[in-house]
Structure 1
Amino acid sequence: MELALLYSGGKDSSLAALILDSFYDVTLVTAHFGLTEDFEHGKAAADALGFPFDMVELDRDVAEEAVERMLEDGYPRNGIQRVHEHALEVVAERDVEAIADGSRRDDRVPTVSRATAQSLEDRHEIDYLAPLSGFGRHAVDRLVEQELDVETGPSEEISRADYEGELRELIRSNHGEEAIKTVFPDHDQTIVRGRA
């Protein structure tokens, strides 16, 4: 069965791929707005793990809407949530039996509610899977340490193929560097370099 997994190149989506690989023909799919070349980091991580890789382009209007929402809110949650839901919709239009992401039980964003998951499944006649939804951060970290070679660092220093990098670039180009600091708190990101 064909499955498209939304892929950032980070530890969570990479671990999700490893879990699903026993049951599905997994393709790692990076969703992007065409604002940066960050999708290349997703491709490199997918290649290092030995998974097929593909990309889908998202609607630039959704990025603009997300950035305005984040600037208005003063934090990224609602904007990133909007982008993730849009990405799931776009990936659900692929010719696959299932779609998935790397969301964990304790993620603040993005999350997929039961109603959203059921709606995706019903409207697109696919399965939506979140294989890490029962795992907390510490459990994921222990599994990742055992299975993956991961680089970790401050978000602005670790390039990967997630929504944040392109949204940061859009904020930078439209509102300046200082505006990024008003939206994104300091936090670490990961990029997978291969298997452990």
Structure 2
Amino acid sequence: MECGLLFSAGKDSSLSALLLENFYDVKLVTAHFGITDDWQYARDTAEALGFPFERIQLSDGIATDVTARMREDGFPRSGIQSVHEAALEAAAAEYDVVADGTRRDDRVPTISRAVAQSLEDRYGVDYIAPLSGFGRGAIDRLVEEHLIVESGASETVQKGDYETELRARIESRWGRDAVEEIFPDHEQTRVIGRT
């Protein structure tokens, strides 16, 4: 059975792919808006890990709405959550099984039991979050053993996640200062292969 796994090329979605590969025909799926071509980094990581890749283009209207909300809120949380849920919906329209790399201690995105059940009921799919019982320490140990990772400040790591495009949209509408006001400094990862 084919599983569409939302994929950013980061350690969580990459580890999720490894955990699911013995049970499903995993396809790594990157949702994007067409604002940048950073989805290509996710494609390259999918190739390095040995998985097929697909990209799904989300509506530009979603990017417009969530970046306006992020600017109004002064932080990215609700915007990232909305984009993640839209990406799951887009994947659910194409796959019988959809998955993501959300983990137990994520702040955002998170998928509540109610959202997961709603997605399953409305689309007739199975939703799987293989890392939902894993804490950060367990994930870091598994990643260290099985994946080759580069990491750094969020704006410097080339990856295929929503944040990169949302940053670009905010900068084009309101300038670089708005990006720095909305997004806190944090570290990101990009997987470049298996150990």
Q: TM-score, normalised by structure 1?
A: 0.99
Q: Which amino acid in the other structure matches residue 59 of structure 1? A: S
Corresponding residue of 2:9: 9
Tell me what 1:120 maps to.
119
Shift of residue 43, structure 1, vs aligned partner: 0.3
Q: Partner amino acid for 1:68?
A: A
Work out the CA distance in 1 between the residues paired with 2:96 and 2:178.
41
Residue by residue over 1:8-59, the C-alpha shift from the partner in whole angstroms, topping out at 9 and shown as x without a partner, is 0000000000000010000000000000000000000000000000000001
Per the alignment, residue 149 of structure 1 pairs with 148
CA distance in 1, matches of 2:96, 2:29: 14
1:116-152 Cα deviation digits (max 9, x unpaired): 1001101111100000000011110110000000000
SS at 2:109 equivalent: coil
Report the Cα offset of residue 97 of structure 1. Answer: 2.0
Percent identity over the alignment is: 59
Amino acid at match of 2:187: D
Q: Which amino acid aligns with 1:104?
A: R
Q: Which residue of 2 aligns with 1:43?
A: 43
**In the comparison of the two structures, how many residue pairs are matched?**
195
- The yes-or-no answer on 1:163 pairing with 2:162 is yes
Which residue pairs with 2:85 in the alignment? 85
Cα separation, 2, equivalents of 1:42 and 1:185:
23
**Residue 90 of structure 1 aligns to which amino acid in structure 2?**
A
Which ranges of structure 2 fall in alignment gaps of 5 or more residues?
A: none
Matching residue of 2:71: 71
Structure 2 CA distance, aligned partners of 1:116 and 1:59? 21
**1:147 partner letter:** H
Measured in 2, the distance between the counterparts of 1:64 and 1:102 equals 25
Corresponding position of 2:23: 23
User: How far, CA to CA, are the matches of 2:140 and 2:106 in structure 1?
Assistant: 13
- Aligned equivalents of 1:123 and 1:78: distance in 2? 22
How much has 1:112 moved relative to structure 2?
A: 0.4
Structure 1, gaps ≥5 residues long: none
Name the aligned partner's letter for residue 189 of structure 1.
Q
Match of 2:174 in 1: 175
- Runs of 4+ residues deviating >3 angstroms: none
Distance 1:38 1:6 in 2: 15
The separation in 2 between residues aligned to 1:171 and 1:17, in whole angstroms, is 31
**1:179 and 1:97 mapped to 2: Cα distance?**
39
The CA distance in 2 between the partners of 1:195 and 1:167, in whole Å, is 29
The superposition leaves residues 169-193 of structure 1 with CA deviations (integer Å, 9 ceiling, x where unpaired) of 0001000000001100000000010
CA distance in 2, matches of 1:174, 1:97: 37
